[in-house]
Structure 1
Amino acid sequence: MGAKAAKTFNIRLTALGSACGYWREQGWLAGDPLVRLRARPAPGDTSKALSRDRITQILGSDSALRERVLWHMLYESSARAEEVLMLDVPDLDTANRCAVVTRKGGARDVIAWQTGTARLLPRMLAGRQSGPVFLTGRKARSSVAVNDIDPATGRSRLSYRRTAELFEEHTSVFDNGPYTLHQLRHSRLTHAAEDGASTPVLMKLSGHTSGAAW
């Protein structure tokens, strides 16, 4: 079993454990030959959309304000995390709940959000008029580009890598977690399709100009 994937290994280990238990009950086996084997951590299924109830649980948690704004905006806009993280405060149109992003490939496009983001975003910005929308919790290193630093606080733009880590940490408490940022985006598009959104609307939400996959 040593070279098998974690899921396969765990299934076979469970089956062997049941067999060994039965053999011990029958007196055919002494001790536990599996005592030194442990189930392997298996990654979650990142291809599946999350249920609406699970999305509600994720967005309704008591995590830090920055994370709550970010998760809401990513889900409600269905934008890629890279697109949202590159937003600067002047890109935002908070009155109309939208922002201009640079899509994959370089095209400029408008994303929109809903009540959850609209309610939390002003609290996070706290009156800031410049700099990246989403900031790290500490001051930037000297090597960080000026465009990625908020002049008011000296903090730098939150990275995609750290965002992905935060989301995985945030969702590791669920029985089939942790989840990925792609699942958050895919879930929004799936829910929109379930609600009857047309193909052009889905393509606009996904930021695609052709029939490319989500």
Structure 2
Amino acid sequence: MTTVAAEPCGVTLSEACREWLDERFGDKPGTYGRYELTMRRVAAFLGAGDQDVATVTGQDYFRALKFLWGKRKPATWNANRAAISSFLKWVRLMAEYADVKLPPRCTSRTVDQDETKAVDREDLDVLWDPETAALRERALWRAMYESSSRAAALLALDIPDLDLKRRRARVRVKGGSIKWLHFGELGAELLRELIGDRTEGPVFLTESRPWNWRDRDLADRGPGDRCRLSYNRAEEIFKATTRALGFAGDEVTFDFLTLHQLRHSRLTHLSEDGTDTPMLQQISQHKDPRTLHRRYTKPSSSAVARHMALMDKKDADRRRDARRRPPRGSVTARTARFARPGKANTTDSRRR
């Protein structure tokens, strides 16, 4: 099919992208950064940053998608496809620059859900052991598990955000909302020990002064020119620690875990303990309960094993009781069937 060139609108692809990002995601820095990266890579691949946005066709975007993310995981493909689709919808309906759509065969891909991400509580207990890791890591991991928080929200914490008397912290969650995160007793104790007598600055700091500390924002600096711990460094330490510990489940041996699996495991454990959906949504900050149940609230392998053991016990009890009952058709069985507790047999009374 021959593509008919559209009339130029006088706005370049780069200008349109910047306008779209500022208008739609100016108050959501996380989404802004991810979508900006997607569109920048697409424009670089097409060599179309200075090209009129109306002359870039849907087939061009599809071609870029296939080259850049065609062989990646379905979730990665879907995320980048969603960013481009959102941009083109804005170009069509809001800005009215051009009528550009992704071709019909550029569809989302099915994502297979991994149901082995929740880690057993007994396996996680080793992470809070003082011999496993330094205080900073244990405080971060335990606080993340107890609060079911994303790591980025906790790493962004400053000391004035903490209210350890009430075991909570004020954070900005995904989407930009400001919420309270709640900790358990152990998590609050580790955080209290970590900050000591400090009254300001980031809660989680680097071990030493980083090489680019002078370029860091003043709000990200702490005593001794240490700076706020980055997500990449925190993830690197967690993976190295869990790899060395050799986490093993009933069916899966983990080469390493990810920080997000602490959140995943906590929500799964809360669900197994009977926590209802509204409370789980409040704890996890999920707006859509379907996402919560699809990803997090499926029983873990250990919970299924405990349930099956309980069913085996009930079945064994039933079979034991069946062996104690008299055989069907015997005189004792017939008498027991018609006799009423506490009353004499009516047939015997009439005979008497």
TM-score range normalised by the length of the shorter chain: 0.7 to 0.9
Give the CA deviation at 1:170: 1.2
Does the aligned pair in 2 maintain the 1:97–1:113 contact within 8 Å?
Answer: yes
Q: Does 1:64 align with 2:134?
A: yes
Give yes or no for the alignment of 1:54 onto 2:132.
Answer: no
SS of 1:130's partner is: coil
Q: Which residue of 2 aligns with 1:30?
A: none
More helix by share: 2
CA drift at 1:154? 1.9
Q: What percent identity do the matched residue pairs reach?
A: 41
Equivalence for 1:192: 270
**Aligned partner (choices 145, 152, 167) of residue 82 of structure 1:** 152
Give the structure-2-normalised TM-score: 0.46
Distance 1:55 1:205 in 2: 20
- Cα offset for 1:211? 2.0
| Cα contact 1:46–1:179 (8 A) shared by 2 | no
Matched residue of 1:139: which SS? coil
Query: Greater strand percent: which structure?
Result: 1
1:97 equivalent among 151, 167, 172 = 167
Distance, in Å, in 1 between the alignment partners of 2:199 and 2:220 is 14
Cα distance in 1 for partners of 2:266, 2:183 equals: 12
Q: Which residue of 1 aligns with 2:216?
A: 144
CA deviations over 1:133-161 (Å, ceiling 9, x no partner): 000011242111111111x3321000000
Q: Using the alignment, how far apart are the partners of 2:289 and 2:197 within structure 1?
A: 40
Unaligned runs of at least 5 residues, structure 1: 1-44
Tell me the distance in 2 between the aligned counterparts of 1:203 and 1:170. Answer: 30
> Post-superposition shift, 1:46?
8.4
Aligned residue for 1:8?
A: none
What secondary structure sits across from 2:118 in the alignment?
Answer: coil
Query: What's the secondary structure of 2:169's corresponding residue?
Result: strand
Structure 1 residues 1-214: aligned runs within 5 Å = 47-62=116-131, 63-140=133-210, 141-150=213-222, 152-172=223-243, 173-174=245-246, 175=248, 176-177=253-254, 178-211=256-289, 213-214=291-292
Give the Cα separation in 1 of the matches to 2:170 and 2:127: 26
Contact 1:75 1:184 in 2 (8 A): yes
- Offset at residue 89 of structure 1 (A): 0.2
For residues 169 and 217 of structure 2, what CA distance do their matches in structure 1 show? Answer: 23
Indicate the residue corresponding to 1:15 in structure 2.
none
